[in-house]
Amino acid sequence: MTETTGSSTDRALVRLACEVLPVWIRHLASSRGQSEAAVGQMLAAFGELTPLLSAPSSAATDAVDRMYQGFQYEDRVGQMMALLQQDMERLLAALTCADASLDATQWLQRLQSGYVMAEQHQVHGQTASGQDETTFF
């Protein structure tokens, strides 16, 4: 590939990313908003159940435990999505700024520095695996 072709390809990739990243960012923001609304609805429903659980049975206790796990899972997913959304916004800003550094190693190190869960650190450098287990905190 000649330098001109490489430069043309680079410009095309930057243009593509500048067009696609805002769409991804909007989708992530919309997904997060919908997820937060669903959690709000679950919390309201949970509040309505509280009086009914004055003499909890083991089935009720199990259901409440599953609800708490669901809230924890949603919180975890929300944190992951927020980090990705912020990183996409940062990439979009970098692509539109001529003097921004686009070094992949530095970029990935900065992204990794924002992880708050062990699973994120484990997955960061891995390829897809068969493991699909969620650890609740």
pLDDT tens-digit series, residues 30-42: 888 888 888 888 8
pTM of structure: 0.62
Mean pLDDT of the chain: 78
Q: Is residue 46 very low, low, confident or very high in pLDDT (cuts 50, 70, 90)? A: confident
pLDDT value for 128: 46
Which string of DSSP letters, residue by residue, matches 77-105? HHHHHHHHHHHHHHHHHHHTSTT----HH
pLDDT value for 5: 65
pLDDT value for 24: 86
Euclidean distance between CA atoms 81 and 95, whole angstroms: 21
**DSSP structural state of residue 125:** T
